[in-house]
Amino acid sequence: MTGEIVKSREGEVGRVSLARKNALNALTMPMCEAMIAALLEWRADPAVKAVILDHADQVRGFCAGGDVAMVRRAVLEDGGAAGRVFFMTEYRLNHLLFTFPKPVIAFMDGVTMGGGVGLAMPAVIRVATENTLFAMPEGAIGLFPDVGAGYYLPRLPGQIGKFLALTGARLDGAECLWAGIATHYCASDDLAEAKELIAKEPGAAEEILRDLASPAPAARLAGNAALINSLFAPDTLEGIIAALEADDGKWAGKELKAVTSKCPTTAKVALRQFVSAPGTFAEEMAREYALAARMIARHDFVEGVRAVLVDKDGKPKWKPAHAEAVTEEMLDAIFAPLPAGEAWTPLEA
């Protein structure tokens, strides 16, 4: 078991704690493989009644995402073969969590972004705290909302999913609860007690968390729900940008800047995910794997990761640079099925 994953058994509960301290638990291949191994072991063990996902005490966040810097290096060195292997494994982990036959309880304490969202959202119980910081920031690195986001985001109320996908907005714990991303809200100081009680009686996890719940503050995002539902209603990026430009309010101006600073191709890929969502989670993961295989090979991914994580200048040069230049033909090529033998497949049952 990698030192970046701590596996333990506490009563009738299996527990996986992410412990990659220096990278806010950004997921690596060994971390994904270690979690898959633990989950498969517990799936087959009748003595394990539930699984807890959380972060180790010495780490400030739940999971900041996938190790996209590694994927970028793979693209530059070998055309992305190692990156595709990583996404195959990560998406298999996402699917394993989604289909896991025993309750999974995710404690979204701290940063929960990208790959961390892929770990938390399949859980039947998702606990937010005052430290939660939730986002899908892929537009800033030229990727796309993945790890199942094409399944989860369209199912959020109103136009919240589009808003998150196009702006990369960061939600706090109260906003996660309001949006239905989290199922419970607890003070971080109460999490240790919650986990201890759940380990003793996993079947009562819902009641335990309800009893320990803290009143969530007012969700700031709720105050802008009407604007989000109106301005992000169009199905096209051009339509959303036009709606934001036509609104002279301060909030619309801020979100217009957020949308137009992100990769235009990423935004259009995300919007097509909304209008043509597959029926099952497995179908979505297969589609997202094909998207990932193509998106990491594009200039925008290499450039976006450079701007955010390598040179950290925050000045990516997207190609194309404007929404109008991202054509339907380009999107058709990105969304085309992979050749036979290259497609994503779930783990064998």
Give CA–CA dist 271/208, Å, rounded.
38
Residue 121 and residue 164 in contact, taking contact as beta carbons nearer than 8 Å: no
Dihedral over alpha carbons 61, 84, 272, 313 (to 10 degrees): 60
Hey, which residues does 113 pair with through a beta bridge?
A: 135
Rounded distance, CA 113 to CA 75, Å? Answer: 22
**Catalytic residue set:** 66, 115, 138, 146
Q: CA-CA distance, 346 to 246, in Å (whole number)? A: 45
Residues 6 or more apart whose CB falls under 8 angstroms from that of 329 comprise none
Query: What is the SS3 assignment for 173-220?
Result: HHHHHHHCCCCEECCHHHHHHHHHHHHHCHHHHHHHHHHHCCCCCCCH
Residues 6+ apart with CB under 8 A from 26: 20, 63, 64, 65, 66, 67, 68, 115
Contact 195, 10 (CB under 8 A): yes
Q: In this structure, are residues 52 and 102 in contact, taking their beta carbons and an 8 Å threshold?
A: no
Rounded Cα–Cα distance for residues 331 and 220 (Å): 35
Coil, helix or strand at residue 66: strand
CA–CA separation, 270 vs 272, rounded Å?
Answer: 5
